[in-house]
């Protein structure tokens, strides 16, 4: 079902498509597959020179899947993919995930419709033709009826603005933009890592083992729990393959898209001794389960949350030998309300002689200078700076693209005060533009490959419905975004997430307005979007096709 729209004179040289997909990660690759299977002429563009999206860029040492574990962190739509790819470890490393995505690209014959090394530089909606005019970094012009933004919730690096940082003369790498050629060598070097989120915590033990000296610059101490990574048990995989339909169904209806059954017990129903026993058992096994499967109220009740927080603080006190270092590592926010971290010996790394922890709350950075970093207490000479400072998450990449919608309005104008959407998939005044893992979708708080599949399927069906009805454009009706936003906020208020400054709320980016832009009730969200579709896309307005 190729587009029948006749290109205007100005668009003669443009590549005419039904759908431009931005991004060749998990989301964009699946979107391409499902749109193509439906007969649509779709093409993916990505500025990287490899498929993989975030798994292509985040090549820092120690980068691993943390949730959900293998064999569940994968596409679910194809039994062949499930059966043919063998995951070696429960928490696959970055190289293995990238291998998987390259395997999928070949197995599904996706590459012929993916253009790498090509950034989308702009997108403008033409109301007369109901089509998007899209530009690329190669100077090509694209003319498409639909744009699907699969550009990643964690793909625009947060580059900190710190006095003198541009004068630093040593090597400098951001974890989310790690060199693609394995050229980084820590041997014999004095390294500083700035940031102790997932990327910092995953990389720090690896860097410490290789470098001469490591200085960790910590702004906020974090709770991290043992990853418990291990080889995948072949019997476990055989069982997962045999019961894959049931597992797939369970992941769709479980909070966070986990394959595991969530606990129904509240923390207050157990005695302190019982809780300690439960937490200890999960701590020894390792993995995310300690926060999502022990007690059902850890994210909704302060008392419950504090019981686990204190358990982890006790682990820090008993692991880190220097009491002053242990003190600096003790977090005091609500556990799990910043992205939960899994590690491979993080706290123990501070028992090494070649590691220094600088607590930036007591000893702030004054400036960087060519040979190092100066904090209030003095100079720290370094040869290499690793910026593990995270991302302008969820909205940053879309804001950088800043498409122009109806009447030439820019996305940044629309999102000046609030990241509004309808269903986390569409934005008022941006007809025929869809987002995967956009603001107000479950995105980063759900099994992301699975969420991407369900959102892509919805978008595909919406496009097919539109065309079947002889319509040319679809966008949210006036006001539905406000009502939907209120619903998302209401779910969020039932949890503790908003009480913590994190990248979930935009607090990590100076000047970004605060909004917890994640739909926390994943299964209810997916039920809702299915209902909206079943009822003929309630909340949307459709325009007759311009060329009909």
Binding residues vs ligand NA7 (CB under 6 A): 154, 158, 160, 162, 175, 194-200, 219-220, 339, 360, 388-391, 503, 508
Give residue 326's region: left, alpha or beta (phi > 0; psi -120 to 50): alpha
The distance of closest approach from Cβ of residue 501 to ligand NA7 in the complex, given in angstroms and rounded to an integer, is: 7
Residue labelled with tokens 């048990």: 233
Which stretch of DSSP H or E encloses residue 433?
Answer: strand 433-435
The distance of closest approach from Cβ of residue 153 to ligand NA7 in the complex, given in angstroms and rounded to an integer, is: 9
Q: How far from the centroid of its chain's Cα atoms is residue 306's Cα?
A: 26
Cα 531 to Cα 25, 487, 540: the distances in Å are 28, 16, 13
The distance of closest approach from Cβ of residue 33 to ligand NA7 in the complex, given in angstroms and rounded to an integer, is: 24
Other CB atoms within 10 A of residue 533 CB: 17
Detail the DSSP E strand segments found in 459-539.
471-476
The distance of closest approach from Cβ of residue 503 to ligand NA7 in the complex, given in angstroms and rounded to an integer, is: 4
Q: For residues 136 and 220, which CB has a smaller minimum distance to ligand NA7 in the complex? A: 220
Cα 31 to Cα 40, 453, 474, 498: the distances in Å are 11, 7, 18, 31
The alpha carbons of the chain give a radius of gyration, in whole angstroms, of 24
Q: Which two tokens stand for residue 509?
A: 């980016």
Q: For residues 60 and 146, which CB has a smaller minimum distance to ligand NA7 in the complex? A: 60
Q: For residues 52 and 200, which CB has a smaller minimum distance to ligand NA7 in the complex? A: 200
Q: Which residue is nearest to ligand NA7 (CB)?
A: 197
Residue labelled with tokens 């949307």: 540
Q: For residues 62 and 228, which CB has a smaller minimum distance to ligand NA7 in the complex? A: 62
Q: For residues 146 and 503, which CB has a smaller minimum distance to ligand NA7 in the complex? A: 503
The distance of closest approach from Cβ of residue 177 to ligand NA7 in the complex, given in angstroms and rounded to an integer, is: 11
The distance of closest approach from Cβ of residue 444 to ligand NA7 in the complex, given in angstroms and rounded to an integer, is: 7
- Spell 9-27 as b/e; 16+ CB within 10 A means b: eebeebbbbbbbbbbbbbb
User: What whole-number distance in Å separates Cα of residue 537 and Cα of residue 302?
Assistant: 39
Q: Any residues with CB less than 8 A from the CB of 436 and at least 6 apart, and which?
A: 27, 28, 31, 148, 149, 150, 425, 452, 455, 456, 459
The distance of closest approach from Cβ of residue 205 to ligand NA7 in the complex, given in angstroms and rounded to an integer, is: 14
The distance of closest approach from Cβ of residue 448 to ligand NA7 in the complex, given in angstroms and rounded to an integer, is: 9
Q: What are phi and psi of 356, to 5 degrees?
A: -120, 135
User: What whole-number distance in Å separates Cα of residue 164 and Cα of residue 143?
Assistant: 44
Q: Which two tokens stand for residue 200?
A: 């910092």
The distance of closest approach from Cβ of residue 401 to ligand NA7 in the complex, given in angstroms and rounded to an integer, is: 20
Sheet arrangement for strand 213-218: 171-174, 384-387, 190-194, 213-218, 355-359
Helix axes 94-107, 26-37, angle to 10 degrees: 10
Q: For residues 167 and 538, which CB has a smaller minimum distance to ligand NA7 in the complex? A: 167
Q: For residues 267 and 335, which CB has a smaller minimum distance to ligand NA7 in the complex? A: 335
The distance of closest approach from Cβ of residue 504 to ligand NA7 in the complex, given in angstroms and rounded to an integer, is: 9
User: What whole-number distance in Å separates Cα of residue 387 and Cα of residue 184?
Assistant: 14
């Amino acid at each position: 079902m190729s587009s029948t729209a006749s290109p205007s004179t100005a668009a003669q040289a443009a590549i005419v498509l039904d759908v431009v997909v931005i991004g060749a990660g998990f989301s964009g690759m699946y979107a391409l597959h499902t749109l193509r299977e439906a007969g649509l002429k779709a093409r993916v563009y990505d500025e990287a020179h490899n498929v993989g999206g975030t798994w292509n860029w985040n090549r820092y040492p120690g980068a691993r899947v943390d949730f959900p574990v293998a064999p569940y962190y994968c596409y679910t739509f194809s039994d062949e993919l499930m059966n043919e790819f063998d995951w070696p470890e429960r928490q696959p490393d970055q190289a293995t995930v990238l291998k998987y995505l390259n395997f999928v690209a070949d197995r599904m014959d996706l590459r012929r419709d993916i253009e790498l090394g090509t950034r989308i530089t702009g997108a403008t909606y033409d109301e007369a033709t109901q089509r998007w005019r899209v530009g690329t970094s190669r100077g090509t012009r694209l003319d498409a009826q639909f744009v699907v933004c699969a550009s990643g919730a964690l793909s625009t690096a947060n580059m900190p603005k710190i006095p003198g940082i541009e004068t630093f003369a040593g090597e400098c790498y951001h974890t989310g933009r790690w060199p693609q050629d394995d050229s980084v060598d820590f041997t014999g070097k004095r390294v500083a890592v700035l940031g102790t989120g997932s990327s910092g915590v995953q990389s720090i033990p690896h860097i410490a083992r290789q470098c001469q000296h490591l200085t960790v610059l910590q702004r906020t101490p974090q709770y991290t729990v043992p990853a418990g990574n291990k080889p995948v048990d072949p019997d476990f995989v055989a069982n997962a393959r045999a019961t894959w339909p049931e597992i797939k169904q369970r992941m769709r209806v479980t909070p966070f898209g986990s394959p595991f059954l969530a606990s129904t017990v509240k923390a207050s129903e157990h005695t302190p001794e019982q809780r300690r026993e439960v937490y200890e058992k999960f701590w020894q096994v390792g993995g995310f389960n300690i926060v999502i499967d022990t007690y059902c109220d850890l994210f909704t009740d302060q008392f419950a949350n504090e019981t686990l927080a204190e358990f982890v603080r006790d682990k820090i006190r008993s692991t880190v030998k220097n009491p002053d270092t242990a003190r600096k590592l003790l977090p005091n926010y609500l556990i799990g309300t910043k992205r939960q971290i899994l590690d491979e010996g993080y706290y123990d790394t501070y028992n090494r002689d070649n590691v220094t922890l600088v607590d930036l709350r007591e000893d702030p950075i004054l400036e960087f200078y060519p040979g190092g970093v100066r904090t209030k207490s003095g100079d720290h000479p370094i040869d290499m700076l690793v910026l593990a400072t995270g991302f302008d998450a969820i909205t940053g990449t879309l804001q950088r693209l800043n498409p122009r919608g109806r009447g030439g309005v820019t996305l940044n104008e629309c999102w000046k005060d609030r990241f509004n959407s309808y269903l986390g998939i569409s934005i008022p005044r941006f007809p025929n533009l869809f987002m995967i893992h956009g603001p107000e979708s479950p995105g980063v708080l759900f099994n992301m490959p699975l969420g991407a599949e369900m959102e892509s399927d919805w978008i595909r069906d919406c496009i097919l419905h539109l065309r079947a009805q002889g319509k040319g454009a679809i966008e949210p009706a006036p006001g539905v975004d406000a009502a939907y936003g209120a619903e998302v906020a209401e779910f969020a208020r039932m949890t503790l997430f908003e009480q913590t400054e994190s990248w979930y709320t935009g607090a990590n980016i100076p000047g970004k307005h605060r909004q917890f832009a994640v739909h926390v009730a994943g299964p209810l969200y997916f039920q809702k979007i299915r209902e909206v579709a079943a009822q003929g896309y309630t909340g949307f307005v459709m325009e007759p096709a311009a060329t009909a």
